[in-house]
Amino acid sequence: MPELPEAEVTASQLRARLVGAVIADIRLGRDDIVREGLSSLRWFPGSVLRAVERRGKSVVMDLQKDDEHRYLVAELGMTGLLLFPAARVRFPQHTHAVITFQDPARPPLRYWNPRRFGRLSLLDGPGLDRYLARRFGCDPLTVTRQALARLLRCRRRLKPLLMHQQAIAGIGNIYANEILFRAGLHPNVIAGRLTSGAVDRLHDVMQSILREAIRCGGSSVKDYFAPDGSEGHYKEHHLVYAKAGLPCPNRCGAIIRRLQSERSSFYCPRCQSRRRAS
């Protein structure tokens, strides 16, 4: 399930291998994988890939032809991957797009997404601006402590807020659980009730976990692979995600719990008590 670290690793591999490449063709396995801009598909052949960036959990490819820039945005959703041919997948029928390049030395790029949560968008400059403005809040890696504190000044529950892409773009369920555990904060504490010490902890932990996860190549839970087929090994550093019933890694004596009512929150009832947060 690609979140910020996995999208970052994906974007950096594409950048390293594809910047400067000229697109020969974009072939779609199914039209409904394109959320927006399907009619502009024929513009892309002949364009040069100038840059690859991550925004939130998405990968944005900047393409240029003559003086015009257009953008291919790949939302990875839950199961979406961008892959070079060396990366083999178990269900090849779920390859929904293939981008080929004029230089035969450049490996074609596949967009593979079995569950199809996540789409491709083909956008022009203003379209990209609208897309980013509508969907993505601040970036967790660059947000300042002060900006984060402002964002938390509300009555919403902390974990859903951390995962709300229009507020902070890039954190999903796995990293939200890990961040809250290491910050010692209950998933359902009201964000506006955090002390300034708790906000500091949250800011530090959020950035250090995400950076460490990027260094590890992301978390390969189920079917995540980087474009070259390599697995991320941050999963080995997970402390609470999918560890319900195991003893708290802080050795506090409590057992990791899973909250039933919502999308699986894993937490230590002792180290992440609501009292500690406020």
Partner DNA sequence: AGCTCTTCCTGAAAGC
Partner DNA sequence: TGCTTTCAGGAAGAGC
Binding site for DNA (CB under 7 A): 1, 3, 32, 56-57, 75, 77-79, 90-91, 93-94, 114-117, 135, 154-157, 160-161, 163, 165-166, 172-174, 242, 261-264
Which residue type occupies 62? D
Asked if residues 82 and 10 have their Cβ atoms less than 8 Å apart, the reply is yes
Q: Which residues pair with 53 in a beta bridge?
A: 60
CA-CA distance, 158 to 146, in Å (whole number)? 17
Nearer to DNA, 30 or 215 (CB): 30
Nearest to DNA of 23, 74 (CB atom) = 74
In whole angstroms, the minimum distance from the beta carbon of 217 to DNA comes to 18
Q: Give me the least distance between CB of 141 and DNA, in Å please.
A: 16
Nearer of residues 7 and 63 to DNA, judged by Cβ: 7
In this structure, what token pair is assigned to residue 5?
């670290």
Report in angstroms how near the CB of residue 121 gets to DNA at its nearest: 10
What's the rounded Cα separation, in Å, for the pair 226 and 83?
A: 7
43 vs 179: CA distance, rounded Å: 42
Ramachandran category for residue 29: left, alpha or beta (phi over 0 → left; psi -120 to 50 → alpha): alpha
Closest by CA position to 241, among listed 232, 229, 249, 251: 249
Give the residue numbers marked as catalytic. Answer: 2-3, 57, 263
Which residue, among 242, 168, 154, has the nearest Cα to 207 in the 3D structure?
168
Helix (H) or strand (E) holding 147: helix 145-151
For DNA, give the closer residue by CB, 187 or 217. 187
Structure token pair of residue 78: 């839950």
Residue with Cβ nearer DNA (102 or 264): 264
Nearest distance in Å: CB 183, DNA: 18
Cβ 235 to DNA, closest distance in Å?
Answer: 13
Q: Is the dihedral of CA 29, 31, 34, 39 positive or negative?
A: positive
Q: How far apart are CA 271 and CA 199, in angstroms?
A: 16
